Amino acid sequence: MTAVSYRLQGEVAVLAIANPPVNALSLPVRTGLMEGLRRAAGDDAVEAVVLTGSGGVFSSGADINEIASGAALTPPTLRDLQETMEASRKPLVAAIDGIAFGGGFEIALTCHWRVGSSSARVGLPEVKLGLLPGAGGTQRFTRLAGPAAALEAITSGAPIAASRALELHLLDAIGDDPLAAAIELARAALHERRPLRVTSEIGEHLPEGTAELFADFRRRIAAKARGQLAPARIIDSIEVACTRPREEAFRLERQYFLECRDSPQRKALTHVFFAEREARRIPGLPPDTEPLPIRTAAVIGAGTMGGGIAMSFANAGIPVALLEVSSEALERGLEVIRRNYAASVARGSLTQARAAQTLALIRGVSDYQALGDADIVVEAVFESLALKREVFARLDAVAAAHTVLATNTSTLDIDAIAASTHRPAQVVGTHFFSPANVMKLLENVRGRQTSARTIATVMALGKTLGKIPVLAGNCDGFIGNRMLMFYGSEAEFLLEEGATPEQIDRVMEGFGFAMGPLAVRDLAGNDVGFLIRKGRTLPADERWSPILERIVAAGRLGQKTGKGFYRYEGRTRSVDPEVTALIEGVSRELGVRRRAIPDEEILERLLHPLVNEGARILEEGIAIRASDIDVVYVYGYGFPAWRGGPMFWAEQAGLTRVVETMRRLAPTHGARWGPAALLERLAREGSGFGSVRSPAGGPRHG
Ligand code: NAI
């Protein structure tokens, strides 16, 4: 089969991309398109050309492997194709079914007209890989839809529904059968002798591209896009579309594209893209393991997490029973859920009808008998082993034989919970992140006896719920929270030594974290953090800083009490001299002479513990591969995706350097700074984390 088929429908040549599964624009496709265009141009019987995709998809865009290897620029390139298209004297119409993304959409944008099916989605998602659409995408999109729409769409990379694309003039028509509609449009254009509409020559929308518009937009996305190259260059590129002559603007777009392509950020984002997919592969799982289909679910506990988890099921169309201890607690939980949906409707992100439909899938119950025969039950009661064991024993007694029993515990021993049932093979951790209906990560945790089918089920569930699932082994804190413990405590040691909360948070936010560690503590609740800490035993040569305990004792529980490490007006934080005094008091008591701490020291003291604990997690087999740890940190803990995650960051910094830094800090800052054996070995061998796979084909148990 050729990558592009060519057939005649009367006087119209139809070129259909056929490169399953998503018609990526790899070299054979580009070659096929070029041949097809030339053949159509040279055939006197052909009067118009329609470009389409087979298999219900136009094209998902460039072949990502080719971008990484540079092969995407092997001729014919997209730009070569576009030159040929723009030189065509015969009408070119794109017929878009399914998706036209990235380079695929750039090709469609180069046609004279575009027709989409009503379910078609178009868009330029390059920013997600640290790139900008470098085949004229920023230029042609802006010329058709205007700069305001282009800024919004291309810096977010979000898909655009057909109806919206029509409003934005990105599509010229919507038809149930886009191919037939495109052929019809081509014939009408021929019949009426319509002038060919070369997108790159359109100028009608450009006057609204004022300097003010760009200044405003740059200001608006400053916080979200802080430190990131691709969004900045996308804005520049859209601006030059409005302000510079066409040739120069296209040349600049090209230059910005190459700058992004060669940047470490592009490399990091590509790493995360592949890591996310790799995380779904579980070595040692028999290939014929069928996940249990999840048709109905139940959640125990309608608190912060239980409510969000129930919403996640409902959002995916899965009916869910939500159980609480009392009718008051249940009503409280349901009220929060109702308010959340109402807020989405008010924001315009959900229609009233859809909200009502989704809400109707959540059924509050107060009796275990009413759980029915749910395919999975997720427990989200208080973080107490005794309580969870009690709940699991009851669930075991009432749940159907096939039901998977999952716990949302953030730290507790999965095996100890499983032991309170007669079905340990069907017990598993499903660790959601707060807010559970929003956060992307699902950290699944396997116990000693968790079966292959149960694992396959919760991994598939992650996908069904629109989340990114990662599998962890059973140990205190699993992957994410175990690493967080050292990161959090190091921040307090820095406070004792002379840093301030705002300095620490500024440095980490400057690095790209969504929030610094102390702002995060205030958001999650300092009492919660302190409780978790109290439940832990430290090695004899370690200690906690007393700062967190003092903050809690002062009633500074965080945002919920209007004060924590900061003082709050709504969500806006400001420095509180009382906190400064409290911290300085602790330093005095401990006999620590406060010093000015350089920003670089804060960064290295907070990032290295993450890497070191990550390496231990890897060598113990708690994580299957280093890139899983990166996925956990990017999607669960706000680590900047454009830095690739902590393990990727360490490799880029150089493992030898990382080990040296730890050795340098160990004598002053304690035994926890001793580099993990795995790090030492990799640094010595000059190899990277890529060579490390969990030996048992999955996490062992700690
Ligand atoms: P929460 O205190 O907001 O909610 C717990 C709910 O469970 C309460 O509504 C309580 O009435 C209910 N409950 C207690 N005993 C019950 C029982 N026997 N039967 C039915 N319902 C019962 O707590 P949160 O924050 O939702 O945490 C729940 C679990 O999720 C904990 O294991 C926690 O460690 C874990 N978790 C919490 C995260 C967070 O950010 N809050 C993040 C990830 C996991």
Q: How far is CA 278 from CA 325, 431, 624, 630, 690, in A?
A: 40, 19, 10, 12, 12
Q: Distance between CA 108 and CA 89 in Å, rounded?
A: 17
- Ligand 1 centroid from CA 383, angstroms: 7
Q: Which residue among the candidates 126, 379, 496, 497 is catalytic per the annotation?
A: 126
594/614 same-domain check: no
- Among residues 455, 472, 489, the one where a domain terminates is 472
| Containing structural domain, residue 489 | 480-598
Q: For 61-82, what is each residue's pLDDT tens digit?
A: 998 888 778 888 899 999 999 9
Cβ–Cβ < 8 Å for 243, 654: no
494/452 same-domain check: no
- Ligand 1 centroid from CA 304, angstroms: 7
Confidence of residue 93 (pLDDT cuts 50, 70, 90): very high
Per the domain annotation, does 163 fall within a domain?
A: yes
Q: For 453-469, what is each residue's pLDDT tens digit?
A: 999 999 999 999 999 99
Residue nearest to atom 4 of ligand 1 (CA): 303
Q: Which of 410, 479, 526 to mutate to test the pocket of ligand 1 (most atoms within 8 A of CB)?
A: 410
**Looking at the predicted structure, is the pLDDT value of residue 694 above 90?**
no
Residue nearest to atom 17 of ligand 1 (CA): 325
**Looking at the predicted structure, is the pLDDT value of residue 679 above 50?**
yes
555/646 same-domain check: no
Q: Residue 701: what pLDDT? A: 44
Q: Give the atom of ligand 1 at the shortest distance from the alpha carbon of 302.
A: 9
- Ligand 1 centroid from CA 21, angstroms: 42
- Ligand 1 centroid from CA 525, angstroms: 14
- Ligand 1 centroid from CA 673, angstroms: 34
Residue nearest to atom 21 of ligand 1 (CA): 301
- Ligand 1 centroid from CA 303, angstroms: 5
Q: Give the atom of ligand 1 at the shortest distance from the alpha carbon of 390.
A: 18
Q: Distance between CA 71 and CA 263 in Å, rounded?
A: 17
Q: Give the atom of ligand 1 at the shortest distance from the alpha carbon of 407.
A: 32
Q: Which tokens sit at 156?
A: 């977010």
Per the domain annotation, does 266 fall within a domain?
A: no
Residue nearest to atom 29 of ligand 1 (CA): 380
677/546 same-domain check: no
Amino acid of residue 4: V
**Is the peptide bond preceding residue 21 cis, with omega within 30 degrees of 0?**
yes
Mean pLDDT of the 394-404 span: 97
Mean pLDDT of the 26-33 span: 96
Residue nearest to atom 36 of ligand 1 (CA): 410
Q: Residue 1: what pLDDT? A: 58
- Ligand 1 centroid from CA 580, angstroms: 33
Q: Which of 382, 391, 417, 444 to mutate to test the pocket of ligand 1 (most atoms within 8 A of CB)?
A: 382
- Ligand 1 centroid from CA 406, angstroms: 13
Q: Give the atom of ligand 1 at the shortest distance from the alpha carbon of 528.
A: 41
Q: Distance between CA 580 and CA 597 in Å, rounded?
A: 15
Q: Give the atom of ligand 1 at the shortest distance from the alpha carbon of 432.
A: 43
78/216 same-domain check: yes
Q: How many domains does the chain have?
A: 4
Q: Distance between CA 468 and CA 318 in Å, rounded?
A: 18
Q: Give the atom of ligand 1 at the shortest distance from the alpha carbon of 326.
A: 11
Q: Give the atom of ligand 1 at the shortest distance from the alpha carbon of 308.
A: 26
72 CB burial (10 A radius; 0-12, 13-18, 19+): buried
Confidence of residue 602 (pLDDT cuts 50, 70, 90): very high
Picking from 514, 518, 671, the residue whose alpha carbon sits closest to that of residue 583 is 518
Q: Residue 206: what pLDDT? A: 59
**Looking at the predicted structure, is the pLDDT value of residue 307 above 60?**
yes
Q: Distance between CA 403 and CA 174 in Å, rounded?
A: 45
Q: Which residue among the candidates 35, 83, 86, 106 is catalytic per the annotation?
A: 106
441/487 same-domain check: no
Q: Give the atom of ligand 1 at the shortest distance from the alpha carbon of 409.
A: 32
400/309 same-domain check: yes
Mean pLDDT of the 552-564 span: 96
Is 106 annotated as catalytic?
yes
State in Å, rounded, how far the first CA of the chain is from the last one: 52
Amino acid of residue 504: I
Q: Which of 381, 412, 528 to mutate to test the pocket of ligand 1 (most atoms within 8 A of CB)?
A: 381
103/220 same-domain check: yes
Per the domain annotation, does 263 fall within a domain?
A: no
CATH number at residue 617: 1.10.1040.50
Q: Give the atom of ligand 1 at the shortest distance from the alpha carbon of 411.
A: 34
Question: In this predicted structure, which of 202-216, 249-263, 354-368, 555-569 has the lowest mean pLDDT?
Answer: 202-216
Q: Concatenate the DSSP letters of all residues of 578-631 into one string.
A: HHHHHHHHHHHHHT----PPPHHHHHHHHHHHHHHHHHHHHHTTSBSSHHHHHH
Per the domain annotation, does 264 fall within a domain?
A: no
Per the domain annotation, does 702 fall within a domain?
A: no
Residue nearest to atom 8 of ligand 1 (CA): 303
457/496 same-domain check: no
Q: Which residues partner with 430 through β-bridges? A: 444
CATH number at residue 388: 3.40.50.720
- Ligand 1 centroid from CA 443, angstroms: 17
Per the domain annotation, does 271 fall within a domain?
A: no
Residue nearest to atom 12 of ligand 1 (CA): 301
For the chain, what percent of residues have pLDDT higher than 70?
98
Q: Please state the pTM of the whole predicted model.
A: 0.91
**Looking at the predicted structure, is the pLDDT value of residue 569 above 80?**
yes
- Ligand 1 centroid from CA 301, angstroms: 6
Q: Which of 299, 304, 326, 534 to mutate to test the pocket of ligand 1 (most atoms within 8 A of CB)?
A: 304
**Looking at the predicted structure, is the pLDDT value of residue 698 above 60?**
no
Is 509 annotated as catalytic?
no
511/372 same-domain check: no
415/509 same-domain check: no
Give the torsion through C-alpha atoms of 339, 340, 344, 345, to 10 deg: -30
Confidence of residue 702 (pLDDT cuts 50, 70, 90): very low
- Ligand 1 centroid from CA 309, angstroms: 11
CATH number at residue 490: 1.10.1040.10
With a CB cutoff of 8 Å and minimum separation 6, the contacts of 554 are 578, 582
- Ligand 1 centroid from CA 245, angstroms: 60
Q: Which tokens sit at 669?
A: 């800052």
Q: Give the atom of ligand 1 at the shortest distance from the alpha carbon of 434.
A: 40
Mean pLDDT of the 540-564 span: 94
Residue nearest to atom 39 of ligand 1 (CA): 434
Q: Residue 208: what pLDDT? A: 63
Per the domain annotation, does 157 fall within a domain?
A: yes
506/426 same-domain check: no
- Among residues 420, 445, 472, the one where a domain terminates is 472
Question: In this predicted structure, which of 163-177, 178-192, 210-224, 412-426 has the lowest mean pLDDT?
Answer: 210-224
Q: Residue 697: what pLDDT? A: 41
CATH number at residue 178: 3.90.226.10
User: In whole numbers, what is the pLDDT of the chain averaged over residues?
Assistant: 94
Cβ–Cβ < 8 Å for 76, 40: no
Question: In this predicted structure, which of 64-73, 375-384, 568-577 has the lowest mean pLDDT?
Answer: 64-73
Cβ–Cβ < 8 Å for 395, 368: yes
- Among residues 255, 270, 285, the one where a domain terminates is 255
Residue list, ligand 1 pocket, CB within 6 Å: 300-306, 323-325, 329, 333, 380-383, 387, 391, 408-410, 431-434, 524
Per the domain annotation, does 673 fall within a domain?
A: yes
Residue nearest to atom 31 of ligand 1 (CA): 383
Helix axes 352-359, 304-315, angle to 10 degrees: 110
Residue nearest to atom 28 of ligand 1 (CA): 380
Q: For 79-91, what is each residue's pLDDT tens digit?
A: 999 999 999 999 9
Confidence of residue 204 (pLDDT cuts 50, 70, 90): low
Q: For 487-510, what is each residue's pLDDT tens digit?
A: 999 999 999 999 999 999 999 999
Residue nearest to atom 1 of ligand 1 (CA): 303
Residue nearest to atom 14 of ligand 1 (CA): 381
- Ligand 1 centroid from CA 555, angstroms: 22
